[in-house]
Amino acid sequence: MKRSRFTTGLIATLLLCNMAYAQKYPHLAETPPMGWSSWNIFQVSIDENTIKEVADAMVTSGLCEAGYTYLNLDDGWQATQRDESGNLQADSEKFPSGIKSLIDYIHYKGLKFGIYSCAGPQTCAGYPGSRGYEYQDARQFANWGVDFLKYDWCHTKNIVAQEAYSTMSKALEAAKRPILFSMCEWGQNEPWKWGKEIAHMWRTTGDIWLSFNDTIQPFAFKTYSVLQIIDLQHGLRHYAGPGHWNDLDMLEVGNGLTENEDRAHFTMWCMLASPLILGNDVRQMSESTKKILLNTEVIDIDQDPLCIPGFRHMTDGELEFWFKPLSHDEWAFCILNRSTKEREYIIEWQDFNLYDTIAKKSLNFTDDTYTLRNLWTHKAEGDTQKNKKITIPGNDVILYRLSVK
């Protein structure tokens, strides 16, 4: 029986209504989201002029053109109390023109605007949270023109994570504005197992701190170094994909690590298909920081449309060998040196034949020859017909793009 256009349209509408929030708006995160957040560098010391300067710098530096489109206010933008109607309001000293005016400025610059709230009654910094105000806050965010919501997990004793995040997800749906929903639940309740229908991304660990490999805890709450966060991604790659991503937390590139560590940090976030949310002061970046953050060849690994995170294939002492399947039968091949010492290595390609069960793709160096493109030197380095001798600096990486010859 032939359906009428009305019937077909009605069915499509009903199906859309029955879909979960994140599945209604998968286009918001078809590839891992990219942007900047205020927390790592400024914490709660943020204000209107600083954020406008950051927006200006994101445009003039080329970050926006490279794909970093979200400018996100983290904790500390709020007044200490809601207004007489129960609405969240900005700190009038920090943001005298108000949030709506700031968002208009951000949008005028061609950027998208993100805001922060928390599933508890208070945020991590002690400002009003959204517990009990989810629908009211979601409406206000939508009315302001917010494009991204980071939703934290402080002061949540006796609150069930899946229910709390589902409530805000439904509130965002009711507000009828497509807002990318980022769950910052720290991985405590395995959000990768239930977050796909609720949010577009979810944190897999607690907060990153400015360390490449230290295990010292500098804060009262548990924090993680770059290498610790990488290790905690084991077994999670099959949960990520278009519209739903494992979030390894904001980047510390440009905040004080060595150039080698910054390069390795950025590379591994790309290999694992993490959202790339910058955490440095983009108004004053060194040339080495710019070269890392604006390396579009490496960004392309993160943003590859096949949308499958990479995996560690094997180790050799402190060396780790990672692969990420890419579109067009290409692969990213990364060698991570976790040691502080330089290491020489001879790549015997046949040792790396593999089959990826998630991508359902083989990498066969016995039968196929691949060209090598070094994505950090931007140079071709021959092919895989012969063994290759390489030197990997300490706390650094070598990153190749492999293409069938």
Q: Which residues are catalytic?
A: 152, 207
d(CA 165, CA 21): 11
Rounded CA-CA distance 370/351 in Å is: 14
User: What's the first-to-final CA gap in the chain, in angstroms?
Assistant: 51
**DSSP H helical segments within 176-274, as ranges?**
226-231, 259-271
The string of DSSP codes covering 144-156 is HT--EEEEE--S-
- Residue 238 to residue 246: CA distance in whole angstroms: 10
**Amino acid sitting at position 108:** Y
Q: What is the CA radius of gyration of the chain?
A: 22
Tokens encoding 25: 């708006």
Nearest one of 104, 122, 97, 112 to 35, comparing CA atoms: 112
Tokens standing for residue 57: 């710098």
Cα dihedral sign, 129-133-136-142: positive
- Burial readout 374-394 (b: 16 or more C-beta within 10 A, e: otherwise): ebbeeeeeebbeeebeeebbb
Euclidean distance between CA atoms 161 and 165, whole angstroms: 6
User: Which tokens go with 133?
Assistant: 């105000």
Number of Cβ within 10 Å of residue 188's Cβ equals 12
Q: How far apart are CA 54 and CA 229, in angstroms?
A: 27
User: Under 8 Å CB-to-CB from 212, ≥6 apart: which residues?
Assistant: 225, 226, 227, 257, 258, 261, 264, 265, 395
Residue 396: both structure tokens together: 């650094």
Stretch (H or E) spanning 344: strand 343-347
Judge residue 357's burial from the number of C-beta atoms within 10 Å of its C-beta, 0-12 exposed, 13-18 middle, 19 or more buried: exposed
